[in-house]
Chain A
Amino acid sequence: MTASGAPAPEPVADEPATPSMTARTLRRLRAALVTGSLLTGALCLLVSGRAHSGTDAVGGRAAPALLRAEAAYGALADAQRVAVHGFLQGTVVLGGLGDQYQNDIAAINQNLAELAGYNVAGPAGTSDLQLVEGLVVAYNAEIEQAAADYQQTGELTRALPALWYATLQYREISGALDRLRTQGRATLAAQRGSAWLAGTTDLLFLVPFVLVLVLFARTQFVLRRRFRRRSSTWLTAAVLALAAAVLWCGQSLHTSHGHLRSALDGPFVEAVTLAQQQAGRSAAAAGEDLFAVVAQACPAASRSCGTGLTAPPPGPAAGGTAEGGRRPGQAVAEFTDGVAEADAASSRRAAVVTLLALAAAAASARALNPRIDEYRFGGR
């Protein structure tokens, strides 16, 4: 226990230090403990901040950007499926391109706008993104031209050139989106591999924490030897506060990483897979219908009137949901929840660690101030 009103103790025989030496030692220990506690807390916050940035980069930008690219690709494939099917069935003549087609075009534009907002594409990706944005406008114009040609003449042959030009642009957009998706996967993998998300950076605050613990032990040793204090409540409180800060920090980081990992390995992968499956089915159906349209317009001509189209292999049915009735949107929602939990853990962490580290520093100072005060009128 502290005894602020007690007289200055006599130096013990085995440590013949002068009072001024002891005061200097105590001041140095106090400075080291306060600094060490604050440094440990600061490093906790640094690692926490970096991990939070990493979580944000992965879960808040890279992964959602990839999902937006997948969604844009899926909407494009569906737009092509719906449009070509409308031409094949002749529904374009009376019903126009239909709501589904317009919704798909709107979804493409919305996903591209969000993808641009994530700003993860880099110079080459930005160029591809601009290309896609430009080509989608041209694609839609060609499809609408084909519909107008069909409606004016009622002849599929008259609509075919514009429909084919739209298809050529559809292929080009698909290629650019493929590049964006590939780049998105690479960016995601690189950011997931960041050291700040690997847990090894915990050493940055664990090492100073151990050093500060040694300093605490040394301080306790000095207090016991020179002031015959078996234990100090404030010192114990400081140790406990700092240990709590470090434990909270480590545990919280671990929890945060776990949430992110689970979200990425589970719902995210599922969302990407479902989106790709759905886009694949739409693209296959569009290809089958387009081949039928071309075959209908130029049945006798060789080489499919220069389109180079060949009969597509039979594929699965188009549209609808994947096996098990899951839709990409459900998996995306689960992924978003997982990232939000990881983010919430990060937010709480900063406040708790700051408070505990400050408390540890204050308690450290409080533990030694009375002893130092005893030398107030002595030499330095």
Chain B
Amino acid sequence: MRQQRRTALRLLLVLTLLAASASCLGGPSDRSVLTVLTPWTAGAEQEAFQAVIDAFEADNPGITVHASPTRALDQVLRAGVQKGEEPDLAVMANPGALRSYAQQQVLVPLDGFRDGALGRGLVELLESDYDPQWYRLGQAGTEHPYAVVVKASVKSLIWYDRRQLDARSIDSWEGLVGVGRSMVRRGETPWCLAVADPPNSGWPGTDWIEDILLHQSGADAYTAWVDGRLKWTSPQVSAAWQEWGRSVTAQGAVYGGPLTALLTSYGEGAYPLFTAPPGCHLGHGALVTPDPAARTGPLPGEDYDFVPFPDLGPVSAPVSAPAPAPAYEVSGDLVAMFRDSPGAEKFMAFLASRKAQRIWPQHQPEAAFSANRTVTQALSREAPGSIAGRINGLLASPATLCFDASDSMPSTMAAAFNHAVLDYLNDPAQLPAILTGLDRAQADAYPQPTRSSVCPASSPSSPSSSPPSPSTAARPR
């Protein structure tokens, strides 16, 4: 009997313990989880960034990096910062946004890491392996470096249908314009163009205009314009718009006409370049992608190729101006840290490393490049004749690299620029009104004078490198 009672009491005790433990399941994990807000929601870019993450996690088994992709990155990030729920890290394509967050002091500077040795090593790597303009880009106009360029793109490229065109015929602006006109006369369409990419529709057109301005008026004018010191109605900027208009707004100049260019998604813009027969023969920008549904993919170097964006004659006749050094418009995706942690610091340091910088170009060899000079030089040597190798060669050359202008402008100015491109494609006759409107937006968008670092200081690339005259300079109101 006594034994039975003991058994019963023990059973009661066990049940009590079971009941107590049922409410206490789970516990903290030692594993560190980082969240990175990214704009890459699908496709090759998402896969490439995941490969970078995988490589980091393999080296750091105690850290998990969770990529949180969103198309509305700006809005999500802004809302997160306002609510105090910012991610550990975020990718920004817009140095203007980086500057804004740096000024709000919500970013962790790379030289302010808790792990001082890691931070010093990272800054030294950025200074030694990266060109100064990439480093200054990460400084966002401040004294401290805040960002690492995780991927770079070259925008000053003209892609062409190699089956129909010869590179020599389009390696100058006059040649390019002439080829376009003769195609139109033959009833063919020279240019592929697509600008739909909400919420930033119009940006492919801004890249065109920026490229023309850079190659027509030089890096100094380009920088002055980005900084709000050169008006939109100035001869330089106005000429760039008109030059672009001569290429794309003429009857039959773009595939499907301006309305089709306005309505076609940017990613699908080059599809007609690869059809048989081709719907268009030329494209501008960082990359062209064939329709993934096509039965056979085009062969790079055989079916299509690129030439660097050619220089244009200066707006005003030069007085024995020296031959300009090459200049290319580039863009980059910047990773900045919002929440300091040992894992986040390690991830930032890894992103800048040569190992990490090689991963993305290997996944997207013609579309994604490294800002790390050592990596770029190595990649250009490894495949010197390929499209990727030649673009790497452009990056590794002593050419002037100027960062995407609209990405570097204040966000309101960039939005107005994007929208102006749409308006211009809709009705080119409205150009004077459009430029006047942009001048007004410029006056509002630059309350204080800024000095960006879109191009290297005292750039040698200035076909008409006279500084903007007082009459053309913007006067902040």
Which residues of A pack against B, CB within 8 Å? Answer: 28, 32, 35-36, 39, 42-43, 46, 50, 123-124, 127, 130-131, 133-135, 137-138, 141-142, 145, 157-158, 160-162, 164-166, 168-169, 172, 204, 207-208, 211, 214-215, 218, 294, 297-298, 301-303, 305-307
- Type the 1/0 row for B3-31, where 1 means its CB is closer than 8 Å to any CB of A: 00100110110011011001100000000
Interface check B249, CB cutoff 8 A: no
A32–B8 touching, CB < 8 Å: yes
B263–A158 touching, CB < 8 Å: no
- Type the 1/0 row for B407-433, where 1 means its CB is closer than 8 Å to any CB of A: 000000000000100100011000000
- Nearest Cβ in chain B — how far from A285, in angstroms? 21
Q: Which residues of A contact B199 (CB under 8 A)?
A: 135, 138, 141-142, 165, 169
Query: With A123-B66, A130-B70, A172-B71 as given contacts, are A157 and B259 in contact (CB-CB < 8 Å)?
Result: yes
Q: Which residues of A contact B427 (CB under 8 A)?
A: 158
- Type the 1/0 row for B197-237, where 1 means its CB is closer than 8 Å to any CB of A: 01101000000000000000000000000000000000000
A215–B19 touching, CB < 8 Å: no
Q: Which residues of B contact A42 (CB under 8 A)?
A: 16, 19
Q: Which residues of B contact A169 (CB under 8 A)?
A: 198-199
Q: Which residues of B contact A166 (CB under 8 A)?
A: 198
Give CA–CA (A135, B75) in the complex, Å: 8
A-B contact pairs, 13 of them (CB 8 A): A32-B12, A35-B12, A50-B22, A123-B35, A164-B196, A168-B265, A169-B198, A301-B256, A301-B260, A303-B260, A305-B262, A306-B256, A306-B265
A46–B23 touching, CB < 8 Å: yes
Q: Which residues of A contact B1 (CB under 8 A)?
A: 218
Q: Which residues of A contact B472 (CB under 8 A)?
A: none
Interface check B106, CB cutoff 8 A: no
- Nearest Cβ in chain A — how far from B36, in angstroms? 11
B259–A134 touching, CB < 8 Å: no
Which 4 residue pairs are nearest across A and B when measured between Cβ atoms?
Answer: A134-B75, A306-B264, A134-B72, A165-B198
Interface check B131, CB cutoff 8 A: no
> Using a CB-CB cutoff of 8 Å, which residues 261-299 of chain B contact chain A?
261-265, 268
Give CA–CA (A306, B291) in the complex, Å: 13
Interface check B343, CB cutoff 8 A: no
A305–B70 touching, CB < 8 Å: no
A161–B263 touching, CB < 8 Å: yes
Give the size category of B's interface with A: 35 or more
Give CA–CA (A142, B201) in the complex, Å: 10
A305–B259 touching, CB < 8 Å: yes
Q: Which residues of B contact A36 (CB under 8 A)?
A: 12
- Nearest Cβ in chain A — how far from B219, in angstroms? 32
- Which of B9, B19, B201, B261 interacts with A46 by CB under 8 Å? B19
Interface check B62, CB cutoff 8 A: no
A306–B260 touching, CB < 8 Å: yes
Give CA–CA (A68, B65) in the complex, Å: 30
Q: Which residues of B contact A131 (CB under 8 A)?
A: 70-72, 76
B196–A301 touching, CB < 8 Å: no
B23–A161 touching, CB < 8 Å: no
Interface check B374, CB cutoff 8 A: no
Give CA–CA (A160, B260) in the complex, Å: 11
- Nearest Cβ in chain A — how far from B90, in angstroms? 12
- Nearest Cβ in chain B — how far from A174, in angstroms? 13
Give CA–CA (A46, B268) in the complex, Å: 59
- Which of A127, A141, A298 interacts with B259 by CB under 8 Å? A298
A130–B79 touching, CB < 8 Å: yes
- Nearest Cβ in chain A — how far from B288, in angstroms? 16
Interface check B257, CB cutoff 8 A: yes
Give CA–CA (A297, B262) in the complex, Å: 12
> Using a CB-CB cutoff of 8 Å, which residues 18-64 of chain B contact chain A?
18-19, 22-23, 35
- Nearest Cβ in chain B — how far from A259, in angstroms? 24
| Central interface residue in A43, A134, A166, A302, by most chain B CB within 10 Å | A134
Q: Which residues of A contact B18 (CB under 8 A)?
A: 204
Query: With A306-B263, A306-B268 as given contacts, are A134 and B79 in contact (CB-CB < 8 Å)?
Result: yes
Q: Which residues of B contact A39 (CB under 8 A)?
A: 12, 15-16
Query: With A161-B196, A306-B264 as given contacts, are A135 and B72 in contact (CB-CB < 8 Å)?
Result: yes
Query: With A298-B259, A306-B260 as given contacts, are A133 and B12 in contact (CB-CB < 8 Å)?
Result: no
Q: Which residues of B contact A211 (CB under 8 A)?
A: 8, 11-12
Query: With A165-B198, A165-B201, A302-B256 as given contacts, are A28 and B80 in contact (CB-CB < 8 Å)?
Result: no
Give CA–CA (A57, B454) in the complex, Å: 53
Interface check B455, CB cutoff 8 A: no
- Nearest Cβ in chain B — how far from A292, in angstroms? 15
Give CA–CA (A50, B18) in the complex, Å: 14
Give CA–CA (A259, B213) in the complex, Å: 71
Query: With A131-B70, A161-B426 as given contacts, are A142 and B198 in contact (CB-CB < 8 Å)?
Result: yes
Q: Which residues of B contact A135 (CB under 8 A)?
A: 71-72, 75, 199
- Which of B66, B75, B426 interacts with A138 by CB under 8 Å? B75
A43–B19 touching, CB < 8 Å: yes
Give CA–CA (A303, B15) in the complex, Å: 71
* Complex: chain B residue closest to A201, CB-CB: B22
Interface check B341, CB cutoff 8 A: no
- Nearest Cβ in chain B — how far from A46, in angstroms? 5
Interface check B242, CB cutoff 8 A: no
- Which of A138, A142, A164 interacts with B72 by CB under 8 Å? A138
Interface check B194, CB cutoff 8 A: yes
B79–A158 touching, CB < 8 Å: no
| Central interface residue in A131, A211, A214, A306, by most chain B CB within 10 Å | A306
Give CA–CA (A211, B261) in the complex, Å: 80
Give CA–CA (A160, B16) in the complex, Å: 69
Query: With A166-B198, A306-B256 as given contacts, are A161 and B15 in contact (CB-CB < 8 Å)?
Result: no
Interface check B377, CB cutoff 8 A: no
Give CA–CA (A15, B257) in the complex, Å: 109
Interface check B68, CB cutoff 8 A: yes
- Nearest Cβ in chain A — how far from B97, in angstroms? 14
- Nearest Cβ in chain A — how far from B432, in angstroms? 17
* Complex: chain A residue closest to B198, CB-CB: A165
- Nearest Cβ in chain B — how far from A242, in angstroms? 14
Please name 13 further chain A to chain B contacts, defined as beta carbons within 8 Å, in addition to the given A134-B74, A161-B201, A204-B18, sorted by A numbering.
A42-B16, A43-B15, A127-B76, A130-B79, A134-B76, A204-B19, A208-B12, A215-B8, A303-B256, A305-B259, A306-B256, A306-B260, A306-B268
Query: With A134-B70, A161-B263 as given contacts, are A301 and B257 in contact (CB-CB < 8 Å)?
Result: yes
Give CA–CA (A164, B22) in the complex, Å: 54
Give CA–CA (A305, B18) in the complex, Å: 67
- Nearest Cβ in chain A — how far from B89, in angstroms? 14
Q: Which residues of B contact A306 (CB under 8 A)?
A: 194, 196, 256, 260-261, 263-265, 268
B15–A208 touching, CB < 8 Å: yes
- Nearest Cβ in chain B — how far from A304, in angstroms? 8
Give CA–CA (A215, B8) in the complex, Å: 9
- Nearest Cβ in chain B — how far from A124, in angstroms? 8
B70–A127 touching, CB < 8 Å: yes
